[in-house]
Structure 1
Amino acid sequence: MSSTKQNNYQKLLSAPLSHEDELLAAVHLDSNTPAEWSSGLSNCCSDASLCCITYWCPCVTVGRIAEAVDDGKTSCIVSASIHALLTYGMGCGWIYSLTYRSKIRKQNMLGGSPFQDCLAHLCCERSALCQEYRELQLHGAKDEGEAKYGVETVPVAPKGMMQ
């Protein structure tokens, strides 16, 4: 993996964090004790675009999560396809997405148990996916699609200043 691509995964996901989330991240990352998830399962609608994408096509969110958690070693399209096949073919895509929740919990030293992870994905997978994506955002992962398609913003000089 190129160093540029590696650096991309250390930047934030496309949506900016609020000041409260930044403070929570600073407290969370400095602690050696297991922390709680930054948001609850019931906060899935706090980001409307993420909520809509996850509700109508959860495989897209699973792909994004997989790519970010695996630092680009797993393709978004491959992960999304696996999840879609398991979900719509066999009805057990939640098992695939569950593996990434466990990885996120271990990587970010989050409290909880494998049993709680299983329940979250079995009973309310879409809410769990939104929660996981927000947690990755908080911890500085970056959506690879942002770099591929040039979504990054360009700084603009204030009115009256020359560029």
Structure 2
Amino acid sequence: MSAPKPKAQAQVDWSTGLCDCFSNFGNCCLTLWCPCVTFGRIANVVDKGSTTCGGSGTLYTVVCCLLGCGWIYSCLYRSKMRREYMLKDSPCCDCLVHCCCEPCALCQEFRELENRGFDMAIGWHGNVEKGNGGVPKAPAVQPMTR
């Protein structure tokens, strides 16, 4: 007898649309002129601090400059983020979203993490210290009584 298959969890919508870029005008401008910064911040949080903002942003820039297709690298993080938060693959597949609309995709990912409580300026470790952004907090310790 085979074991029952685990029940698939329902996927949820993104908190903002792909083209809602101007809801965070500052990030929109930063992403248009320095997408490496936005990407680095996203990668740092998605990787739970195992990569640095500067390191990820630099690698993104190198891939963009040498290959001209940084979207390939950034779409991997969109996929990873979608799996982590059970987000729908919309409006189309991750690679197509990044290939056709890289700045909008980065802005949407940035807004999603902000809407989940992350302060993107302080990165993963800063959010852990503050207890922000869905980072598990230690349970409160109840005093023992007899």
The interval holding the TM-score normalised by the smaller chain is 0.7 to 0.9
Match of 2:47 in 1: 70
Count of aligned residue pairs for this structure pair:
116
Unpaired segments of 5 or more residues in structure 2?
1-8, 127-146
Question: Quick check: which one's helix share is greater?
Answer: 1
Structure ID, larger Rg:
2
Identity level (%): 49
Contact 1:68/1:142 (<8 A) preserved:
no
Match of 1:61 in 2: 38
Contact 2:40/2:55 (<8 A) preserved:
yes
Q: Please report how far the alpha carbon of residue 40 of structure 1 lies from its aligned counterpart in structure 2 after TM superposition.
A: 1.0
Distance 1:65 1:119 in 2: 19
The CA RMSD over aligned residues, in Å, is 1.9
Q: Please report how far the alpha carbon of residue 143 of structure 1 lies from its aligned counterpart in structure 2 after TM superposition.
A: 2.6
- Secondary structure (helix, strand or coil) at the match of 1:47 reads helix
Q: Please report how far the alpha carbon of residue 88 of structure 1 lies from its aligned counterpart in structure 2 after TM superposition.
A: 1.9
- Secondary structure (helix, strand or coil) at the match of 1:85 reads helix
Match of 1:90 in 2: 67
Contact 1:44/1:127 (<8 A) preserved:
yes
Using CA pairs under 8 Å that are at least 6 residues apart, name the structure with larger relative contact order, 1 or 2: 1
Aligned: 1:39 with 2:24? no
Query: TM-score, normalized by length of structure 2?
Result: 0.73
- Secondary structure (helix, strand or coil) at the match of 1:41 reads coil
Give the alignment partner of residue 98 of structure 2, picking from 109, 121, 133: 121
